[in-house]
Structure 1
């Protein structure tokens, strides 16, 4: 099919090497108990005790689900079943063309991407493709090649939800609501539209590599295929899709800003085995100049003060040199 990225051809050397080596690096990437699924906190945002439950879930889990979140179900389903399929099922050659993204920003973080061009082993390969779209760029997308109405509506409502959640969580650790309003702007927050093609070797590669998010908050809506896992008590556990809920997870920046009160949890996506998988993620992120400072509430600060630019530069350096993001441990006092 002409819309599929050429994974096997492009990474043929890695697959050839994996047949010759007997090493943990080429072992089963799934390494989890199929029966071990997380019962994530499910929070109804209309209930009176929702704020208390949000704070508790952020402390204990770093992940939680919300319903009655203000984003219409029909919008989510249309975006997932129609518009994203339309985008990703265009010819691969078309997706790779620079002009296909029309007037999208020239930021290195924006645009279409797939696989991992710097992978040196199968364990570093993500069997997925994605569009990274900054919020202002949605309006400038070519409507003949990109569906944008539902994207724009989703982004607008996700922004309001993220601001609401950040304000609730910020109150607990003495962060002023104006901090998020001033620093998390439309041109710093972005969407990641994900597709996970069916993989012929799902035990040898990841759908998305294990990682934590470099954001304050991430909102995720996933289809019913499943495959998202998080690390809980030293084990990988699956997250059962809930068609009515949005997933919310704490990012590295909120863990630092909360002085470790809230947890940014490592998570990953399994390679799709029998059916392609879709998800859409909204990243509530600040400008590069934003200063991240631990609000200890009387406790000694765990992390030193740093800018988001400094954090991103360090993370990019670690990925280039070590193959993975080291993260917040680089900024411990």
Structure 2
């Protein structure tokens, strides 16, 4: 005999479970630490989304590793510019070494972010909210209410610029390290942006002049142990919306990049940083640089995977309030392949949906 519970629509039950999980403020880390042996249903992804989880390529090669030492030498700089340009065109991702940040600082930053995620629930709960765009926010899945299924990660986010974030707003356990990392990551990003700018034939400081490093968001992801990693994702396939992303991670694998139609597993290089091209850079470069899909598989290791991301975007728009391909990159032989758009259109697209691939780029592409 059917019960009232049986008559409740599944999507209603799922929405109720999502809301209860969100309001508990326990996060995925809390679920994992509780010793569960199966994941809640709203974390289970449909079969089509999981069908290629095991299909990482053995033939597509590995992420380019680029040495940033010796940029003061004209010959070395030219070589590095060409390497960065090629990687940004063909992979959309590359690792950099000898970037100027001591390994001890990288390790300390990772330890501090893990220390936050290891804090008791009531300590972390003070930062738990869903108001994005300013201040500090701790939450599980920033698209929890927009996505088809939740993913197995929690995040600490802090909007570091263009308006400086008062240090006291950051959690005490990682305050000093997050503040310091903001400066270090910005330094690396600006160094890489110079090379990317020169790779397009522009002046070295053109991207900085366009404020491409002023609007910055720090995100400290934690991917705890998942008891059923084959039924969910760490983060679903997506592209990053901004200019460039600087990524620092611990030794636990999980990041995969789409290359040549196949998923390639990224092996972390100790002391290295991963750089990737965002949608905005693909657009302003008029398609010269590529923003590519990437994802994180659910963590089957007992140790949590820690991933620290700095997203960089411009903070000042052109006087017209629009942006698109840089005019100096356009010619009759190479016309614009994307139409101009406003900041509001860009932000509305990102915050109105779950993480996905390149829908905004597809929306503004000019059809021939």
Q: Same fold (TM over 0.5)?
A: yes
Q: 2:88 aligns with which of 45, 58, 63?
A: 58
Matched, 1:315 2:350: yes
- Determine the C-alpha separation between the residues in 2 that align with 1:179 and 1:233: 28
With structure 2 as the length reference, what TM-score do the two structures score?
A: 0.76
Most deviating of 265-274 and 89-98: 89-98
Match of residue 112 from structure 1:
138
Q: 2:247 aligns with which of 216, 220, 226?
A: 220
Q: Is the 8 A contact 2:42 2:150 kept in 1?
A: no
Match of residue 229 from structure 1:
256
Instruction: Please tell me whether Structure 1 or Structure 2 has the larger radius of gyration of its CA atoms.
Output: 2
Offset of residue 33 of structure 1: 3.3
Q: 1:257 aligns with which of 264, 284, 293?
A: 284
Offset of residue 252 of structure 1: 0.4
Match of residue 150 from structure 1:
177
- Determine the C-alpha separation between the residues in 1 that align with 2:159 and 2:104: 23
Q: Is the 8 A contact 1:304 1:331 kept in 2?
A: yes
Offset of residue 140 of structure 1: 2.9
Aligned-CA RMSD value: 3.0
With structure 1 as the length reference, what TM-score do the two structures score?
A: 0.84
CA separation of 1:272/1:38 partners in 2, compared to 1, >3 Å: closer, same or farther? farther
Q: SS of the residue aligned with 1:97?
A: helix
Match of residue 190 from structure 1:
217
- Determine the C-alpha separation between the residues in 1 that align with 2:210 and 2:357: 31
Count of residues paired in the alignment: 316
Match of residue 270 from structure 1:
297
Q: Is the 8 A contact 1:37 1:238 kept in 2?
A: no
Offset of residue 214 of structure 1: 0.6
Matched, 1:134 2:169: no
Deviating 4+ runs (over 6 angstroms):
322-325
Q: Is the 8 A contact 2:244 2:278 kept in 1?
A: yes
* Unaligned residue ranges in structure 1 (runs of 5+): none
Match of residue 161 from structure 1:
188
Offset of residue 139 of structure 1: 2.0
Q: Is the 8 A contact 2:244 2:313 kept in 1?
A: yes
CA separation of 1:27/1:72 partners in 2, compared to 1, >3 Å: closer, same or farther? closer
Q: SS of the residue aligned with 2:30?
A: coil
Matched, 1:68 2:98: yes
